[in-house]
C-alpha cells in the first residue's frame, strides 16, 4: 500500500502535565498551581500510573488531531467505528478527489490532452475515454496504466503478480463509467455509487489520549487488524511516541499493553520487538500463546513499515512528511 501518509495537525498544549495534574486533582487538595508545577519525571510517573491502573478519565483531557491522506474508503470506514472521536472526511458527493488525477495521468499517456478542470467543455467525456483506454492497457500489463490506477485507488498487499493487471483494469473501468455517467448528465453524487471501496480519500480525525491508548492503538496495530488500517495505526503510534512520550511511551498492540500492565518494569515497544524484553503473559488477548507473541508482534510491525535494524527500531511514520512505504 503506497501513497498513504499520516501527520499530526494539532495536539493539546502541555498534554502530559495537564493529564498528570488532572489525575492528582482526584487525590489531592493542593492548589492546581502546585499540581501544574510538576517536573517531567513526576509527570511521566503519574501518566503511566493512569495507564497501568486503567484510570482513564484524566487521559480524556488530552486530544490529538491527525490527517490521513491517500487511504481507501475501506480504511476510513473502519476508522469511524471508533466512536469516541471526531471526523471530517473528503466528500465524494462534491469532489472527484483522486479519481481525476488518474484520468489526467491516463490522458497524458494516451495523448488525449484532457482539460485539467472538470468544468471545461468535454472534460468528463475525455476523462471517461482516457480511463477506458488505461483499463485496456492495464489488462495488457502496461505498467503506466497500473500506475495511473494507483493515483486513485489503494492496492492491497495481497494484490500482486497476475492479479495486479486485472485489479487495475477493473478499477480504471469503473472510474471510466463514473465519468461517462456524469457526461450523460447523471449527478456526481449518484455516479459515485459505481466507485469501488478502494477509492482513495483523506480524513481528519481527533481522538483523546484514552481512546488512543485503550482502543485505537491496541486494536488497530495488532496483527489481526486489516493491513491498511494497521499501517495507519502504526504511523499514528510512532508520531505519538515522538511528540508525547510521557503518555505513549508504553503504548502498543494489545499484547504489549497487557504485558506492561502486569509486569513490575514496563518496557517500551521496541524492547519487545528487538528481544530485549520477553513476554510473561500466558497468551495475548487474541489467544496467541506466549512463545508466539513476539513473532506475531514483529509481523504486525514490519507489515506496517516498521523496521528493526541493528538494535534500533524505526517507524515509517516517525519521520513525518509521510513516506510512501508500507
Q: Per-domain residue ranges for the chain?
A: 64-88+202-314, 99-194
Residue 108 has pLDDT above 90, yes or no: yes
pLDDT at res. 278: 95
| CA 51/CA 244 separation, integer angstroms | 14
pLDDT tier at 247 (50, 70, 90 boundaries)? very high
At 324, list the grid cell.
510512501
Average pLDDT of the residues of the chain: 90
What percent of the chain is predicted at pLDDT more than 90? Answer: 76
- Residues designated as active site: 220
Q: What is the CATH number of domain 64-88+202-314?
A: 3.30.70
| CA 210/CA 212 separation, integer angstroms | 5
| CA 316/CA 151 separation, integer angstroms | 21
pLDDT at res. 297: 95
| CA 96/CA 59 separation, integer angstroms | 38
pLDDT at res. 228: 95
pLDDT at res. 25: 83
Helix (H, G, I), strand (E, B) or coil at 92: coil
User: Residues 23-42: pLDDT tens digits?
Assistant: 888 776 777 777 787 888 88
Q: Tell me which residue of 158, 138, 160, 157 sits closest to 149, measured CA to CA.
A: 138
User: Residues 65-79: pLDDT tens digits?
Assistant: 999 999 999 999 999
User: Residues 189-243: pLDDT tens digits?
Assistant: 999 999 999 999 999 999 999 999 999 999 999 999 999 999 999 999 999 999 9
Give the largest Cα separation in the chain, rounded.
74
User: Residues 153-183: pLDDT tens digits?
Assistant: 999 988 998 899 999 999 999 999 999 999 9
Contact 306, 262 (CB under 8 A): no
Residue 309 has pLDDT above 50, yes or no: no
Which DSSP string do the residues of 226-260 spell out, in sequence order?
A: -HHHHHHHHHHHHHHHHH-HHHHTT--SHHHHHHH
Give the least confident one: 28-37, 143-152, 200-209, 244-253: 28-37
The pTM (predicted TM-score) of the whole model is 0.89
Amino acid at each position: 500500500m503506497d501513497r498513504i501518509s499520516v501527520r499530526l495537525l494539532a495536539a493539546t498544549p502541555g498534554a502530559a502535565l495537564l493529564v498528570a495534574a488532572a489525575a492528582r486533582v482526584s487525590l489531592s487538595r493542593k492548589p492546581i498551581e502546585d499540581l501544574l508545577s510538576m517536573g517531567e519525571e513526576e509527570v511521566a510517573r503519574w501518566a503511566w500510573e493512569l495507564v497501568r491502573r486503567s484510570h482513564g478519565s484524566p487521559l480524556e483531557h488530552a486530544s490529538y488531531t491527525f490527517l490521513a491522506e491517500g487511504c481507501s474508503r475501506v480504511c476510513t470506514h473502519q476508522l469511524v467505528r471508533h466512536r469516541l472521536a471526531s471526523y471530517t472526511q473528503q466528500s465524494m458527493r462534491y469532489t472527484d478527489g483522486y479519481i481525476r488525477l488518474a484520468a489526467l495521468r491516463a490522458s497524458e499517456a494516451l495523448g488525449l490532452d484532457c482539460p485539467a478542470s472538470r468544468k471545461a467543455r468535454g472534460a468528463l467525456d475525455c476523462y471517461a475515454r482516457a480511463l477506458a483506454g488505461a483499463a485496456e492497457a492495464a489488462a495488457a500489463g502496461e505498467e503506466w496504466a497500473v500506475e495511473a490506477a494507483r493515483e486513485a485507488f489503494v492496492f492491497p498487499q495481497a494484490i500482486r503478480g497476475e492479479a495486479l493487471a486485472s485489479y487495475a483494469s477493473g478499477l480504471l473501468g469503473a472510474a471510466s463509467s463514473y465519468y461517462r455517467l456524469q457526461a450523460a448528465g447523471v449527478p456526481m453524487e449518484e455516479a459515485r455509487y459505481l466507485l469501488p471501496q478502494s477509492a482513495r480519500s483523506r480524513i481528519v480525525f481527533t481522538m483523546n489520549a484514552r481512546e488512543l491508548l485503550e482502543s485505537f492503538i491496541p486494536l488497530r496495530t495488532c496483527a489481526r487488524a486489516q493491513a491498511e488500517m494497521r499501517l495507519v495505526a502504526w504511523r499514528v503510534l510512532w508520531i505519538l511516541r515522538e511528540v508525547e512520550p510521557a503518555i505513549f511511551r508504553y503504548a502498543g498492540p494489545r499484547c504489549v499493553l497487557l504485558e506492561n500492565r502486569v509486569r513490575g518494569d514496563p518496557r517500551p515497544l521496541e524492547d519487545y520487538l528487538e528481544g530485549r524484553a520477553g513476554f510473561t503473559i500466558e497468551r495475548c488477548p487474541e489467544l496467541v500463546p506466549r512463545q508466539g507473541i513476539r513473532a506475531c508482534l514483529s509481523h504486525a510491525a514490519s507489515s506496517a513499515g516498521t523496521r528493526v535494524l541493528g538494535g534500533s527500531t524505526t517507524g515509517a511514520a516517525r519521520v513525518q512528511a509521510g513516506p510512501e512505504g508500507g
